[in-house]
A and B are shown apart, each in its own frame.
Chain A
Amino acid sequence: AQSVTQLDSHVSVSEGTPVLLRCNYSSSYSPSLFWYVQHPNKGLQLLLKYTSAATLVKGINGFEAEFKKSETSFHLTKPSAHMSDAAEYFCVVSDLFNKFYFGSGTKLNVKP
C-alpha cells in the first residue's frame, strides 16, 4: 500500500533563508510523487511532480524536490523564502490505480 508521511506539521523560516519541507513515502513499486501548495482559503495547486527521468525535479516559484530511493524521501526545497511562499504544502503519492494519498500537510510560515 502507498502512504506518505510529512515529518513536520509546521515550519517557520525568515524571508530570504532556505526552505526544507520533508516527505517520506512508502510504495510497493516505482512511485508517482507530487507536491501541492494551498494558499489560505484557496484550492490546491501543483508545484511539481516526480518522473523517473531525473531525481532532481524543478517546479514553479523556484521550488525543487529530490527523489532519493534509498531513503524513500522526496523533500521539497527552495533556496530563498519569500513572504508569498507562506502556505500549506502537501506531499502526495499515487498508486497504479490512480488513487492519490496525501500527507497531513506542512504549514510554512515566513517571517519578515
Chain B
Amino acid sequence: NAGVTQTPKFRILKIGQSMTLQCTQDMNHNYMYWYRQDPGMGLKLIYYSVGAGITDKGEVPNGYNVSRSTTEDFPLRLELAAPSQTSVYFCASSPGQYNSPLHFGNGTRLTVT
C-alpha cells in the first residue's frame, strides 16, 4: 500500500505565482486534510473534506483553495503565492470513525521568495 502520496516534495515559487500541491490516498478513506507546519507552531488545519464533493475551511484557509472530485484525490491550490505561505504542507487522511488516527503523507516543502 502506498498510503498517502504527496507531490512535489520541494518547490520554490516566486511571489504571485500559482501552484497545486497534489495529494492522493489509496486507503478509501472518506476524510482528507491539509495542514501546514511552521516552526514552533505545531500543525494548523487549512482545509478538510468529509467525502467527494464536500470541503470545509479549517483554521488558516486564506490564500488557499481545495477541491475533492474523487475519494482518492485532494489537491491544494495556491493562487497568488506570498512569503507567508512558506511552510511545510502535509496531507492526511482518516477513515472518519471514532478513534481513527490520521495517516500522513511525507510533506511538501514550499518556499516563496
Residue positions of A touching B, CB distance < 8 A: 9, 32, 34, 36, 42-46, 49-51, 90, 92, 96, 98-100, 102-105
- Asked if B110 is at the interface (CB within 8 A of a chain A CB), the reply is no
Across the two chains, which residue of chain B brings its CB closest to A31? Answer: B99
How many B residues, CB 8 Å from partner? Answer: 26
Closest-CB distance, A39 to chain B (whole angstroms) = 11
The contact sample of 7 A-B pairs, CB cut-off 8 A, is A34-B101, A36-B102, A44-B43, A45-B104, A46-B103, A102-B35, A102-B42
Residue positions of B touching A, CB distance < 8 A: 31, 33, 35, 40-45, 48, 50, 58, 90, 92, 94, 96, 98-107
13 further A-B contacts with Cβ under 8 Å, apart from A32-B99, A42-B107, A46-B102, are A36-B102, A42-B106, A43-B104, A45-B104, A46-B103, A49-B101, A98-B50, A98-B96, A100-B33, A100-B45, A102-B35, A102-B43, A103-B42
The interface residues of chain A lying within 8 Å CB-to-CB of B104 are 43-45
Across the two chains, which residue of chain A brings its CB closest to B94? Answer: A98
